[in-house]
């Protein structure tokens, strides 16, 4: 294998039509994550969880409801299964951006680093609402 082959741009995850839910199953590693941040036209939210995680299941309905009413410039919520995307989760954990699940990280246009503009962890609905309000204010 040629060493430059590893440097090729990773494929982007498919995007659903804007009129449907904006929750997209994320399956990439940290390279795809960094490429997505470069193309962010508004605010991207990454929701980290796992199928076996009870608190993650607890916030699912809330996040699903919110995703249907987000303005179009919050393009998508990327749902990241930490078991499937361990490379990305471990990278963010090493950088102290995440410490457990569920956690959501928000990145606004222009932020191409691993450090989010906003974050929330846990299941408290008041904190989740505040997080989404903060995301909306990032677009102003």
Q: Is residue 5's pLDDT more than 60?
A: no
CATH of the domain at 54: 3.40.30.10
Q: What are phi and psi of 24, to 5 degrees?
A: -120, 135
93, part of any domain:
yes
What average pLDDT score do residues 29-51 get?
Answer: 94
Q: How confident is the model at residue 73 (pLDDT cuts 50, 70, 90)?
A: low
Evaluate the CA torsion angle 100, 116, 133, 36 in order and state its sign: negative
What average pLDDT score do residues 48-54 get?
Answer: 98
pTM assigned to the model: 0.84
What average pLDDT score do residues 120-133 get?
Answer: 96
Classify residue 11 by its DSSP letter: P
9, part of any domain:
no
Domain count, the chain: 1
Tell me which residue range forms the domain holding 30.
Answer: 19-138
Total Cβ atoms within 10 A of residue 109: 16
Q: What is the CA radius of gyration of the chain?
A: 15
Question: Terminal CA-to-CA distance of the chain, rounded, Å?
Answer: 47
């Amino acid at each position: 294998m040629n060493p430059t082959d590893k440097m090729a741009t990773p494929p982007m995850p498919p995007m659903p039509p804007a009129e449907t839910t904006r929750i997209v199953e994320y399956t990439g590693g940290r390279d795809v994550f960094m490429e997505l941040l470069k193309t962010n036209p508004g605010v991207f939210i990454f929701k980290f969880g796992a199928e076996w995680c009870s608190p993650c299941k607890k916030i699912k309905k809330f996040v699903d409801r919110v995703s249907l009413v987000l303005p179009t410039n919050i393009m998508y919520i990327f749902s990241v299964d930490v078991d499937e995307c361990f490379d990305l989760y471990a990278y963010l954990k090493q950088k102290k951006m995440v410490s457990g699940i569920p956690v959501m990280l928000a990145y606004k246009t222009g932020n191409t680093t691993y450090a989010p503009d906003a974050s929330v962890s846990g299941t408290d609905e008041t904190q989740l609402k505040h997080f989404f309000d903060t995301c909306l204010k990032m677009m102003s």
